[in-house]
Structure 1
């Protein structure tokens, strides 16, 4: 074999090997791409099936509820948790539910079930006002409050607007008072040598700042504000309960009582549950829940899109919040 033939023979083997590797890589990439496409196809098909199923469930249930709502029934609205600007105890959630419950032609009466330790006097006041308005607009439909574990402070502020209040003998009821809580760190700062540098335009702009001392004038102002809100609370209870209320010096002191004592004091009318009130008082055993629920998109957004900054801001705001507790 001459030199030229030797060079050609020696170069053909590496070239053939390189071509095989290239073809193998291309084939492997094509297979991987096909697998990836199949996986995404399965994923999107699964999502599509879930959405279709959810749509049938949601709209089917909605149409079924609409059909059921035309029949005589007891309307139910739940408040479970703190009375604040979010959640089931917010005016934005409770008022639309109450509006639908009263407006529905098939609702015989409305039960507002409350399990709350209290909260915002603003939210509680808005719900109380709406109950009074609805009772005037629909004089033939009664609204009964049924207390679960607790109906205290802001929860009772709402309940006072009802036609009647039913409790369990062990429920916690009352706490007709107002508080403003927070912390003061001025003594600790002095001990560790930390200087607070707060600049304001307005001598009282730093009122209730936890890192600044509170003057007697500021204390007096805050107390006067609390007294004014407390008096609003007292007026609501007196108006709502009327002659049924058996006032004592402790009634509006902020104390709370068990359900059996609350009935004795006229803070409640009797004992009952949602089922017993629907059956024995309203005479409509079928119960339809009008409580405003979070839908699927809202739950997903809250689960995956919660903002850390918003949570931190809310924590700072709530550190010195005014509550009916």
Structure 2
């Protein structure tokens, strides 16, 4: 009896230890497998990030190498669409492209390839000033070649060029300034809507579309537009010099066809990018210096969240705390 009784607990303890050890092995194996899965997931994400980074670096290098040429060539910078801050034809983008083109010793001249209805006089003024500065610094010629349209702020930029070439069907000019808006006072009266506006400063609500026009404020705005218009006219006269055959309506905001623009001295002749590069610059090879958003930039923006997540997971796995 004693032997049986004594032997029973011993076998029970032995059996319990074996079960506990087996259970611990299973738990540790599961934890190890989970850690392995997490590591592999983190590694695969970091691998994708590395691949995307390599792609971005490749396209950046290609863009840089494409912009740096040691052999003689014609540098071209495109100015397309609205000239505005944040647009492809912003002062920041165009000025950066200009600097790269002027600094390249292989660039025999810089051609501005323009197709724009205009835009911000501030952005155009910055570009115009920078063209003038870079021409004096690097002693290189600048030519403007107009495709469809070179109007308003676009012509403000073109006026800084040494010569302007147009197509016979190009639209050139619109040397004027505008500020537009809407007025809804009559509609509000018909709908029975009451405008409740409180300001500190009698001119704070100037040109509010829901309030009647104030003659004094309108006159103030008109004078300001006239001042900016005067700056525009001065830029055109300085850029075109004696070539300009001024007429009463030259600075009225009208646009002209290419041949008429040549007659008025707003342009120098008919030509295209190829003809100017070949016959004027004497360098047929054309290199585009226009700054564009490359694939690397788009990928970086699209996968920005993934990049942040990848670094966070890597730091977390290594025990680093991000605070």
- The TM-score with structure 2 as length reference comes to 0.77
For the residue of structure 2 that corresponds to 1:243, the secondary structure is helix
Structure 1 residues 77-156: aligned runs within 5 Å: 77-139=77-139, 141-156=140-155
CA displacement, residues 290-320 of structure 1 (integer Å, 9 cap, x when unaligned):
1112244543576699xxxxxxxxxxxxxxx
CA displacement, residues 242-266 of structure 1 (integer Å, 9 cap, x when unaligned):
1111111111110101111111111
Larger Rg: 2
Task: Report the equivalent of 2:246.
Answer: 247
TM-superposed deviation, 1:34: 10
For the residue of structure 1 that corresponds to 2:283, the secondary structure is coil
Counterpart Cα distance in 1 of 2:121 and 2:180:
14
Given the alignment of the two structures, is residue 283 of structure 1 paired with residue 282 of structure 2, yes or no?
yes
TM-superposed deviation, 1:174: 0.4
TM-superposed deviation, 1:105: 1.2
For the residue of structure 2 that corresponds to 1:179, the secondary structure is coil
Is the 2:56–2:297 contact (alpha carbons within 8 Å) kept by the matching residues of 1?
no
Counterpart Cα distance in 2 of 1:133 and 1:46:
45
TM-superposed deviation, 1:58: 3.4
For the residue of structure 2 that corresponds to 1:184, the secondary structure is coil
Counterpart Cα distance in 1 of 2:197 and 2:301:
36
Task: Report the equivalent of 2:179.
Answer: 180
Cα 1:82–1:201, aligned 2, differ >3 Å: closer, same or farther? same
CA displacement, residues 174-225 of structure 1 (integer Å, 9 cap, x when unaligned):
0001110001111111111111111111111111111111111111111111
- Aligned length, in residue pairs: 280
Task: Report the equivalent of 1:62.
Answer: 64
For the residue of structure 2 that corresponds to 1:156, the secondary structure is helix
Counterpart Cα distance in 1 of 2:66 and 2:193:
65
Uncovered stretches (5+) of structure 2, i.e. residues with no partner: 1-32, 305-323
Uncovered stretches (5+) of structure 1, i.e. residues with no partner: 1-30, 306-325
Counterpart Cα distance in 2 of 1:259 and 1:283:
23
Counterpart Cα distance in 1 of 2:94 and 2:79:
7
Task: Report the equivalent of 2:267.
Answer: 268
TM-superposed deviation, 1:153: 0.4
Given the alignment of the two structures, is residue 226 of structure 1 paired with residue 228 of structure 2, yes or no?
no
Is the 1:169–1:260 contact (alpha carbons within 8 Å) kept by the matching residues of 2?
yes
Task: Report the equivalent of 2:237.
Answer: 238
Task: Report the equivalent of 2:292.
Answer: 293
Q: Which has the higher mean CA deviation after the structures are superposed, 232-241 or 296-305?
A: 296-305
- The TM-score with structure 1 as length reference comes to 0.77
Task: Report the equivalent of 2:214.
Answer: 215
Task: Report the equivalent of 1:74.
Answer: 74
Is the 1:78–1:88 contact (alpha carbons within 8 Å) kept by the matching residues of 2?
no
